[in-house]
Amino acid sequence: MALHNKFSKQELRKKLMEETFGRTTVSFYKYVKIEDTQALRDDLYLKFDALNIFGRIYLASEGINAQISVPSHHWEKFIQSLISYSLFSGIPLKKALEDDGKSFYKLIIKIRDKIVADGLNDNTFDAGDVGKHLSAKEFNEALKNGALVVDMRNHYESEVGHFKGAIRPDADTFKQELPIALDLLKEKKEEKILLYCTGGIRCEKASAFLRHHGFKDVNQLYGGIIDYVRQVKLENLENYFIGKNFVFDERLGERVSAEIISACHQCGTPSDNHTNCKNQDCHLLFIQCKECEKKFDGCCSAGCKEIFALPIEIQRKIRKGKIKNDTHAVYKKGRLRPGLKK
């Protein structure tokens, strides 16, 4: 049996749309020592593929980081399969806030050096010396009492949704963000610091990183935004998160509050709908309103729209470099176009 997908994206998406059963999108991670990542990777693939599970899983010697879509009728089998590994005993599972069952269309399990690319040398500090984990209620209390709250996600994530008053480092990647956050907070080492991210995994490293650099009172939101919203609803707490929670799957976002706090990158009207440019030679992630989606055929620029309108054979030649392409998007990944108000 092949331990990887062998169908095209189009075939897989068609199969997904034709499914007659529901799916549950769930994410989980755990920092735990894994001795043989290749053996675990192959075993997980066989078990999860047999359950028709889709998603993206990263394995490293330091642990696991997963976002997957489980057929609802296989949920209990999935749980039993996961806990059959003693390594993953007690691992917290975070279900999606909004779920149409179309978050993933294939299963990918990759071995990496780290389960989150942070650019850090873990031998230079104690990565296990993390900050205090706070519940949603504790996080809210700290916010109300004036603690500094820092968004440990990328700029395009915090652009569409964030906690009120959060410091939002302008970074494209977590690796870029860590030194930026350190610089922004360099005069705040004695203050109470609150960190948050999507599911909590980035805060594990970020809190240890800050503690290593002398910060005295570092705290992190347990379970991230996803579990915060669950706790807020369950305990009828006040919600301090505004906008959308960006997610790294086909949905690209989960609605948390009604406010739209961002703007279309093409015309500047209120919008928080992320999309990828339909020109596959570009594939830029950006925010696009419905009107601009119609105007540009789902592309980020007039130049990409022209390419997208070409026969698919010509588009493939452009992607392979057989035809020169001088019409790329004019702004960086997820950035508002110059001249428009944010």
Catalytic residues: 197
Residue 87: phi, psi to the nearest 5?
A: -55, -35
| CA-based nearest residue to 81, from 57, 99, 97, 104 | 57
Tokens of 296: 């540009």
250, 327, 337, 243: which is closest to 287 by C-alpha? Answer: 337
Rg from Cα positions in the chain: 21
Calculate helix-pair angle for 136-144, 224-235, nearest 10 degrees: 90
